[in-house]
Amino acid sequence: MKIKSPKDFWAGLMFVGTGLFFVVWAVTNYQMGTAVRMGPAYFPTVLGGMLTVLGLIIMLGSFAIQGEAVAKFHFRPLIFITLGVVLYGYLMKPVGLILATGALVYVSAFGGHEFKWKEVTILFVILAAFSYFVFVKGLTLPFPICPSFIENCPIR
């Protein structure tokens, strides 16, 4: 058996894996109930089963029908964009809006094609100022501005 359509094979595998996970987790952790009074496990089990079957059909098809290879993954943007965004979320409370914006801008810019310190720094200053004036001053979102260890924040 040879995989003729790798895209379909991996997509099918993803669906089978997800479907089975939902079925197994639902059956072992929640009550099934009956068709009249469905328990919490009923709907996810049915859907998980459907997804598994659909995934299997897609996987089987990948052995029969010719298809394309999976396009190359570009890990640089994937990692830096995701990391930048997540850092922003987790840095907001401890270090405040300004530095969190800096983390997001520098890290995500590193995921692009070219990275010039000067350009990115200018961008950071503009975006930090914009965020502060529009979101904190204008829309009164309750974000901390400075790191929490600075007691008297010069910017309010």
Partner 1 sequence: MEIIHNLVLGFGVAITPINVLYCFIGVILGTLIGVLPGIGPVATIAMLLPITFNLNPVAALIMLAGIYYGAQYGGSTTAILVNIPGESSSVVTCLDGYQMARQGRAGPALAIAALGSFFAGCVATLIIAVAAPPLAEVALKFGPSEYFSLMVFGLIAATVLAHGSLIKAIAMVVFGLLLGIIGTDVNSGVLRFTFGIPELSDGIGFVIVAMGMFGTAEIIGNLELKDKREIFTSKVTHLYPTLQDLKDSWGAVLRGTALGSMLGILPGGGALLASFGAYTLEKKVSSHPEKFGKGAIQGVAGPESANNAGAQTSFIPMLTLGIPSNAVMALMIGALMIQGIAPGPQVMNEKPELFWGLIASMWVGNLMLVVLNLPLIGMWVKLLTVPYRFLFPSILVFMAIGVFSLSNNPFDVLIMGIFGVLGYVCVKLECEPAPMILGFILGPLMEENLRRAMLLSRGDPFVFFSPSKPISLAFLVASAILLVIVALPNIRKKRDEAFAAEEG
Tokens for 69? 């290879």
Ordered DSSP codes for 9-22: HHHHHHHHHHHHHH
Of 9-38, which residues contact partner 1 (CB under 8 A)? 10-11, 14-15, 18-19, 22, 25-26, 30-31, 34-38
Ordered DSSP codes for 36-52: SSB-TTHHHHHHHHHHH
CA distances 39 to 21, 26, 33, 45, 81, Å, are: 18, 10, 4, 10, 40
Least distance (Å) from partner 1 to the CB of residue 83? 8
Give the Cβ contact number of residue 156 at 10 Å.
Answer: 8
Least distance (Å) from partner 1 to the CB of residue 25? 7
Out of 95, 96, 98, 101, the only residue in the binding site for partner 1 (CB under 8 A) is 101
Q: Applying CB under 8 A, does 95 fall inside the site for partner 1?
A: no
Of 39-78, which residues contact partner 1 (CB under 8 A)? 39-40, 43-44, 47-48, 50-51, 54-55, 57-58, 61, 68, 70-71, 73-74, 76-78
Alpha carbons 123 and 69: distance in angstroms, whole number? 38
Task: Give the three-state DSSP class for 152.
Answer: coil
The sign of the dihedral angle between the CA atoms of 109, 113, 117, 123 is negative
Least distance (Å) from partner 1 to the CB of residue 118? 12
Out of 32, 64, 85, 155, the only residue in the binding site for partner 1 (CB under 8 A) is 85
The residues that touch partner 1, with contacts defined as CB under 8 A, are 7-8, 10-11, 14-15, 18-19, 22, 25-26, 30-31, 34-40, 43-44, 47-48, 50-51, 54-55, 57-58, 61, 68, 70-71, 73-74, 76-78, 81-86, 88-90, 92-93, 101, 104-105, 108-109, 111-114, 119-120, 123, 127, 131, 135, 139-143
